[in-house]
Homo-oligomer: A and B are copies of this chain.
Amino acid sequence: LLFEAHAALSARFAVQLAEHALSQIEFEVLLRLARSPGQNLRMTDLSSQTTLSTSGVTRVVDRMERDGLVCRRSCDSDRRISYAVITESGLARLDEALPGHLELIDEWLTGRLCPERLDALLDGLRRVRDALLPQAVPAPTPPTARPRPQAPAETPAELRR
């Protein structure tokens, strides 16, 4: 069920992204960075927005920096902090890969279910997700702007896969 649907969809995404020489995580990193204010994110925040540990983020950013998709920038006010910033090349790569990704979503999700079914599916998933992530909705880092844009509707919600 949930696992099968996820695995199958995930596999499709993977082959499409591979055409643009991106892994799913790299794609997600580019997407999160591109739509963050200033197009940068602290390493820690990047890890909490993905499924990776902080060391995982370090390694991914290492690779992507080597490939020129992102670069690191240190913080003036707190020198412990390191930001990952998306580069021109990274933005270009994202623009290149995104349309195909959206097509896949439309092909297998949006276009496959009638609107009511789609709404019901998203509603159910959202409820499960919200129940499982109690710490994500309240205020784990109150001063830091909560980058989650409250799922304004369909398209952005799917964007976040």
Contact = CB atoms under 8 A, between A and B. Distances in A.
Contacts of A35: none
Contacts of A12: 132
The residue in A109, A124, A127 that gathers the most chain B C-beta atoms within 10 A of its C-beta is: A124
A8 interface: yes
A51 B7 contact: yes
Contacts of A21: none
Interface string A104-142: 000011001100011011111111110111000000000
Interface string A1-42: 111111111101000000000000000000000000000000
A158 interface: yes
A160 interface: yes
A73 interface: no
B1 A3 contact: no
A131 B121 CA distance: 15
A161 B42 CA distance: 34
Given A112-B131, A132-B8, A125 B160 contact: no
Given A7-B51, A112-B131, A132-B8, A1 B124 contact: no
Contact of A128 (B5, B129, B131, B160): B5
A134 B121 CA distance: 21
Interface string A35-68: 0000000000000000100000000000000000
Given A1-B126, A126-B1, A161-B3, A8 B133 contact: yes
